[in-house]
Chain A
Amino acid sequence: MQNEELIKKWLNDELTPAEQETFEESEEYKHFSKIWDGLEVASPPFYDVEKELAKFRENQASTTKVIKVSWTKRLVGIAASLLLVSVLSYILFQFTKQNQTLSFTAAQEELYLPDSSLVILNKGSKLSYSPENWAAKRAVELEGEGYFKVKTGSKFEVIAEDGVVSVLGTAFNVKQRASFFEVICHEGKVRVATTQDTTLLTLGKAFQLEAQKVQLFEVTALEPSWLKGESSFHKTPLSVVIDELENQYEISVDADQVSLKGTFTGSFPNDNLELALDAITAPAGYTYQVLNDKVVFTSENN
């Protein structure tokens, strides 16, 4: 090909006026400019950005992501989709009956509320709400422990035995076990109202109520450890820790022979009973014995 340099310069808009003139007189220029002009044919079709954005929003509302649990995402995705389908069919089913309350009992499950807020329930937990009243009031009742990722919007309330947690749109964890009530704010702001008073939690702040005693502390975790298969505690009474152990492993713990006066700060795995028992008993100086689904704690001094 002739004029290769000129062609390159032409493509790069680097021709001097003199070169431009020379080039334009050449046979090559005629061909190249015809091709160049003809490339108009490759113009893309019209892209309706508003329509595509609406489609995007629709897809986001119905897909799962947001929460990163440590298992393979695919499995979680499939499980969540199945769950979503069953939740939706359940909702549809329930709509045929009037004034019903929906409730879910979980062995750690993800579920979506009508506004696509996400709730992950820890083992042995129960969540209920009324779908009919949902549009008027976003409120759920919780027994046990749940992690909430709430879509921004009107006030959202989690009603537990010992308090009410209200937010506008944020991520937080609520735990109500027996007389133990704990709220951890993982994003934004959370208001915790108990019979005694009201506390506003910001990112990384936590509230704990145990036997009428309020404790405020800070956490650095971006999400609750139980999402990753670990139960964590901060200066929590041993009795509460043992309750959680019983809940996670579906065992019963006999702690009659030890004093359960102390508190526990730390965590135990939810999938390895022996490690979990070591984690709890070692700091307190207990030993334990496992008999089928029963565990007996004994004091080493005995």
Chain B
Amino acid sequence: MAKKDIGVCDESTFNEVFRKNGTELFNFLHFKYRDEDEAKDLVQEVFGKLWENCEKVSVEKSKAYLFVVANNLMKNVLSKKSTALKHQEYVKTKEASTETPHYILESSEFEGQLNQALSELPEEQRLTLLLKRIEGKKQREIAEMLGISEKAVEKRLFKAMKHLRKRLGNIL
């Protein structure tokens, strides 16, 4: 039996794994870094690792492998542009909507502040919160993805929300 039979070395198998998990992995990295280009590059890097080790990773294990690598990679990322800075840019360039000026003012102020507050959160807390809020993951699923306990997930969620509540207290 050839090694490649059990791994993901076959090109079409690998492509399927990419298509299936690429977006989720991108979202994951975007939650953490809030930087589109950064997240895209990291997705490439993570799949590069999978490709290097394709004969050791089965199709079933490939998703878990991707997130483990993503978690480890993230610890090595250095010298990122301040996410807070990125954020101001993001708010400024957000597309115009058809709401009344007053509403825009109010809501963009709220959104801007919320964005700002999100950027101040520790990466792990923000990631946990957004996996729950945007991806609709269960506590148990998040715990598995991050390699931590469910209790730790609950703690992070609460801490994150508490911080946002405190930070936005004046405009709620």
Interface residues of A (CB under 8 A from B): 1, 7-8, 11-12, 30-32, 34-36, 38-45, 47, 49-50, 52-53, 55-56, 59-60, 65, 152, 187-188, 203
Contact assessment for A36 and B31 in the assembled complex, using a CB-CB cutoff below 8 Å: no
Contact assessment for B31 and A52 in the assembled complex, using a CB-CB cutoff below 8 Å: no
Given contacts A32-B165, A38-B110, A59-B44, is CB(A49)–CB(B22) below 8 Å? yes
Contact assessment for B114 and A60 in the assembled complex, using a CB-CB cutoff below 8 Å: no
Q: Which residue in B23, B31, B161 is a CB contact (below 8 Å) of A47?
A: B23
Q: Report if B18 contacts A (CB, 8 A).
A: yes
A256–chain B nearest beta-carbon distance, Å: 46
Q: Which residue in B3, B118, B154, B162 is a CB contact (below 8 Å) of A187?
A: B3
Contact assessment for A52 and B22 in the assembled complex, using a CB-CB cutoff below 8 Å: yes
Contact assessment for B114 and A53 in the assembled complex, using a CB-CB cutoff below 8 Å: no
Contacts of B118 in A (CB 8 A): 39, 42
Number of A-B contacts (CB under 8 A): 100
Q: Could you list 24 examples of A-B contacts with CB < 8 Å?
A: A1-B162, A11-B161, A12-B139, A30-B172, A34-B110, A35-B114, A35-B164, A36-B161, A38-B110, A38-B111, A38-B114, A39-B114, A39-B118, A39-B129, A43-B134, A44-B31, A44-B134, A49-B18, A49-B22, A52-B18, A52-B22, A53-B18, A59-B44, A187-B4
Contact assessment for A42 and B158 in the assembled complex, using a CB-CB cutoff below 8 Å: no
A47–chain B nearest beta-carbon distance, Å: 4
Given contacts A11-B154, A53-B22, A187-B4, is CB(A44)–CB(B52) below 8 Å? no
Q: Report if B71 contacts A (CB, 8 A).
A: no
Given contacts A35-B164, A35-B165, A56-B18, is CB(A49)–CB(B23) below 8 Å? yes
Closest to A38 in B: B114
A232–chain B nearest beta-carbon distance, Å: 21
In the bound complex, what is the Cα–Cα distance between A60 and B52 (angstroms)? 10
Contacts of A34 in B (CB 8 A): 110, 172
In the bound complex, what is the Cα–Cα distance between A79 and B109 (angstroms)? 54
B91–chain A nearest beta-carbon distance, Å: 9
Contact assessment for B44 and A56 in the assembled complex, using a CB-CB cutoff below 8 Å: yes
Q: Report if B36 contacts A (CB, 8 A).
A: yes
Contacts of A53 in B (CB 8 A): 15, 18-19, 22
Contact assessment for A45 and B4 in the assembled complex, using a CB-CB cutoff below 8 Å: no
Contact assessment for A39 and B22 in the assembled complex, using a CB-CB cutoff below 8 Å: no
B52–chain A nearest beta-carbon distance, Å: 5
In the bound complex, what is the Cα–Cα distance between A43 and B154 (angstroms)? 21
A140–chain B nearest beta-carbon distance, Å: 22
In the bound complex, what is the Cα–Cα distance between A249 and B138 (angstroms)? 63
Contacts of B161 in A (CB 8 A): 7, 11, 32, 35-36
Contact with A along B27-64 (1 / 0, CB 8 A): 10011001010011001100110011000000000000
